[in-house]
């Protein structure tokens, strides 16, 4: 069976002498594992398309549940992103997160759209990278069933004067109402407003809010710590991004102390 679809490469691995095994997210067939034959030889549509973070029209053939890429026409390569190691490493982290959140064969059009918008933001928009990263992390969690409760303090029901996020419970609390043990992240009113915006805005406007200084630092820390706490794992691509972007959050020495 031959099918024509579109897809974004979330992961590429070398296979045999000249082949690659790709993990591709498509709008209609979900996440697929695809063999790209001879894709490591120079030239041709297949070798251009068989690269991490490239969006292409793909011609796929399926035989006994195995997919092979038989033709491809590249449509978005995100060239500015590729020329900047810090942006490329952040894009790779976004791809790994998406790969982890979507099971094989499952369709995830909202996550695909979020990822394409985030790559576009890294490629074309002049937004702070920490803002794009925090917005992507939080929005991905919301779309995957990990939305934090941010309406009011989960204990007293009021708008907190000193807001904190309980990272394991995913609840907003006043610092004075916090009694449950476990890690919390301090926020301020601007960082909390940004979190509310990220979790509820129209998808096209996800990266169009403004935040800087201490408020952006708190948002960035809250989004990353909440993600790592909820997913209970680390990410190789995040470690790499940290190693080249430097300590973005140098507060109290350690970046991700739990
Ligand atoms: Zn309270």
The helix/strand/coil state of 10 is strand
Question: Ligand 1 centre and the CA of 157: distance in Å?
Answer: 6
The helix/strand/coil state of 181 is coil
Residue 148 has pLDDT above 70, yes or no: yes
Q: What was the pLDDT predicted at 191? A: 98
Question: Ligand 1 centre and the CA of 218: distance in Å?
Answer: 20
Task: Give CA–CA dist 201/106, Å, rounded.
Answer: 25
Counting residues of the chain whose pLDDT is more than 90, the rounded percentage is 85
Phi, psi dihedrals of residue 109, rounded to the nearest 5° = -60, -35
Q: What was the pLDDT predicted at 247? A: 58
Nearest CA to 97 out of 7, 11, 200, 185 is that of: 11
Residue 257 has pLDDT above 50, yes or no: no
Question: Ligand 1 centre and the CA of 161: distance in Å?
Answer: 9
Note the pLDDT tens digit of each residue in 126-143: 999 999 999 999 999 999
Sheet holding 184-186, edge to edge: 171-174, 163-166, 184-186
3-state helix, strand, coil in the chain (%, to 5): 40, 25, 35
Note the pLDDT tens digit of each residue in 203-249: 999 999 999 999 999 999 999 999 999 999 999 999 999 999 875 55
CA 91 to chain centre: 8
Note the pLDDT tens digit of each residue in 160-209: 999 999 999 999 999 999 987 889 999 999 999 999 999 999 999 999 99
Question: Ligand 1 centre and the CA of 176: distance in Å?
Answer: 7
Question: Ligand 1 centre and the CA of 189: distance in Å?
Answer: 14
Q: What was the pLDDT predicted at 45? A: 85
Question: Ligand 1 centre and the CA of 185: distance in Å?
Answer: 15
| Domains (range + CATH), the chain | 2-77 (2.40.50.140), 80-245 (1.20.1440.120)
Nearest CA to 116 out of 78, 156, 157 is that of: 78
Q: What is the pLDDT of the chain when averaged over all its residues? A: 93
CA 100 to chain centre: 10
Question: Ligand 1 centre and the CA of 196: distance in Å?
Answer: 17
Q: What was the pLDDT predicted at 38? A: 80
């Amino acid at each position: 069976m031959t099918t024509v679809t579109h897809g974004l490469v979330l992961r590429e691995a070398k296979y045999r002498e000249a082949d690659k095994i790709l993990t591709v997210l498509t709008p209609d067939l979900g996440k697929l594992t695809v063999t790209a034959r001879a894709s490591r030889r120079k030239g041709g549509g297949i070798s251009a398309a068989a690269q991490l973070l490239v969006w292409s029209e793909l011609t796929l053939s399926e035989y006994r549940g195995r997919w092979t890429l038989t033709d491809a026409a590249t449509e978005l390569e995100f060239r500015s992103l590729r020329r900047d190691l810090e942006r490329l490493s952040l894009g790779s982290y976004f791809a790994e997160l998406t790969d982890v959140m979507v099971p094989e064969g499952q369709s995830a059009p909202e996550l695909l759209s979020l990822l394409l918008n985030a790559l576009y933001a890294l490629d074309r928009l002049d937004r702070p990278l920490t803002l794009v990263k925090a917005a992507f992390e939080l929005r991905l969690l919301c779309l995957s069933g990990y939305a934090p409760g941010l309406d009011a303090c989960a204990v007293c029901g009021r708008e907190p004067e000193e807001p904190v996020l309980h990272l394991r419970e995913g609840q907003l609390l006043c610092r004075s109402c916090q009694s449950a043990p476990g890690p919390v992240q301090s926020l301020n009113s601007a960082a909390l407003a940004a979190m509310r915006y990220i979790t509820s805005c129209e998808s096209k406007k996800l990266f169009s809010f403004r935040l800087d200084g201490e408020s952006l630092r708190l948002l960035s820390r809250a989004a990353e710590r909440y993600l790592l706490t909820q997913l209970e794992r680390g990410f190789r691509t995040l470690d790499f991004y940290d190693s080249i972007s430097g300590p973005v959050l140098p507060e109290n020495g350690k970046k991700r102390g739990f």
